[in-house]
Amino acid sequence: MTAQIPDTVVVDGLPHAVAAIDGDPLFEPAAYDIVPGPFHTGCYHGYVCAYAVEDDRLLLRELTLGPHATAAGRPVAADTTIFGVPLAEDLADGSFTAAPLRVELPFCGRLLAGRGFIRELGVNMGFAPGWKYEQVVELVLDRGRVSERRDRSAEVAAIRLAILGGRLPDPDGDRRGKGWGARTLGLGYERTFPPAEH
């Protein structure tokens, strides 16, 4: 296993990494007759999404699929269109990207978006949780519309200091412990906030 390519979300014009999700999936490929296929080791689930919040709506702006994905039951290729947009092939890795998109998503729940990844905290496994980012914004959405925005950077900084200072255990557990790798592939809130915090 290796570090995973995070989905991104543009908030207030700035790109952030999706660091945690609590609620529905942000984007469910099967709902659109898309079946992701094997990609490379940096993308186990077979697709990468770029989202944006525009006019308080969550939009899918770009979708990248691995070379073994299917859309409407057919293998993806350079002549495939998704959401009315033709796919562009990246010859370097064989992936296909549909962009620019403007797909409104009906997500209900919360998401954490992180900016300013702290490189010294990186591990070559899974997705980085929110406490490894300098700035963290939380979006609360109802049927794809943002109902609340919260700057949680100060809370996350306090958690980070407590983890690094040994006053709070790493929410992912010991790297040598059983299940650590699998936990790093999740995007649950518990990876950023201890259970009592969320």
Q: Which residues sit opposite 20 in a β-bridge?
A: 112
Q: In this structure, are residues 64 and 88 in contact, taking their beta carbons and an 8 Å threshold?
A: no
The residue ranking higher by pLDDT, 37 or 138, is 138
Q: In this structure, are residues 81 and 87 in contact, taking their beta carbons and an 8 Å threshold?
A: yes
| Whole-number pLDDT of residue 177 | 64
Band (72; pLDDT cuts 50, 70, 90): very high
What predicted TM-score, i.e. pTM, was given to this entire model? Answer: 0.92
Label residues 93-118 b or e (16+ Cβ within 10 Å = b): eebbbbeebebebebeebbbbbbeee
| Whole-number pLDDT of residue 18 | 98
Band (198; pLDDT cuts 50, 70, 90): very low
- Unique residue bearing structure tokens 């412990």: 177
Alpha-carbon span 68 to 116, nearest angstrom: 33
Q: What is the pLDDT of residues 83-105, one digit of tens each?
A: 999 999 998 888 999 999 999 99
- Unique residue bearing structure tokens 């969550």: 58
Q: Which residues sit opposite 23 in a β-bridge?
A: 109
Q: Which residues sit opposite 149 in a β-bridge?
A: 139
Q: Is the pLDDT of residue 110 over 70?
A: yes
Mean pLDDT, residues 139-145: 97
